Amino acid sequence: MMLCAEYKRALLADPQGATSEMRQHVAGCDACSAYTGLLLRFEGRLDRALRVPLPSSTAIPTGFAGPLAAPRTAVHPRRSLPRRSRWLAAAASVLIAAVVMGFWLVVPGRSLAAAVVEHMSEEPDAWSRTDVPVAQQRLERVMGNSHVRLRKAAPMVSYANYCQFRGHHVPHLVVQTAGGPITVMVLPDERVMRSVHFDEQGYRGVIVPVPGHGSLAVLERGETMDAKAVDAIAVQVRGAIEYLP
């Protein structure tokens, strides 16, 4: 039987790598359950901290002749860091987080969900309700860049873009359904262990795992559908996407 100290050491070493022994331990230990929530919240911040913004000049010039060089950034002006903030607020939020055992696999997914919702504000026009499908060539190019394609039975796609998202370029689609437009983001580089539902800033959706191919975010705006309807569409969309070798 695993001891609390062993559990915490293993958790600190690899918060996402819970073994069956760890799961068994935490299921019967309230203290470690609370500690897990606390640590996974920290882990979500750590993930965001490591994703430092990159200069817009990170693209590689076309053609390898100029060999792969992005212009080197100019010398940064020196600016001192703001003073340390008060940790009281952080501590309070940690306490709240610690109560919830379900945070085990959810926190990274939640930060991912927040990023998806944030991305929506960058392309508000995508949400237009329309009966006009996006050009097939554009759709194929957007999807092909990520080595995926839509099967013929897929819902009608009215918008397709290849977007910068958390350091990667990903397909951003809007499909038209009977209930209104639904946004789909194909996220081959974002893994979630199980479905993560979210309801933030007027967007409701789900991020579903796609084993071996990251995940898929499906969301609607304006509460025109309930969570079950979004889930059903997520299943439909997931089945409509073919991952190419």
Partner 1 sequence: MKDAGVGNLGSSRFEALCQKLRPDLLRFAFWLSRDRALAEDVVQETMLRAWKAQDSLQDESAAKPWLLTIIRREYARTFERKRFVTVDVEDLIAQEAPTLAATDEQDIAELRAAIFKLPDDYRGPLVLQVLMGYSTAEIAAELEMSNAAVLTRLFRARRQLRVLCGEDTSLDPDE
Kindly list the residues in this chain that would bind partner 1 in the complex (CB under 8 A).
Answer: 4-5, 8-10, 12-14, 17, 31, 35, 38-39, 42-43, 45-54, 58-60, 62-64, 67-70, 72-73, 75-82, 84-85, 87, 90-91, 94, 145, 167-169, 191
CA distances from 102 to 33, 34, 48, 109, 225 (A): 9, 10, 21, 12, 25
C-alpha span between 216 and 234 (Å, rounded): 8
**Per-residue burial over 123-133, b = 16 or more CB atoms within 10 Å of its CB, e = otherwise:** eeebbeeeeee
Measured from the CB atom, is 45 or 194 closer to partner 1?
A: 45
Measured from the CB atom, is 31 or 235 closer to partner 1?
A: 31
Measured from the CB atom, is 53 or 151 closer to partner 1?
A: 53
- Determine the distance from the C-alpha atom of residue 199 to the mean position of all C-alpha atoms in its chain, rounded to a whole number: 14
Measured from the CB atom, is 64 or 153 closer to partner 1?
A: 64
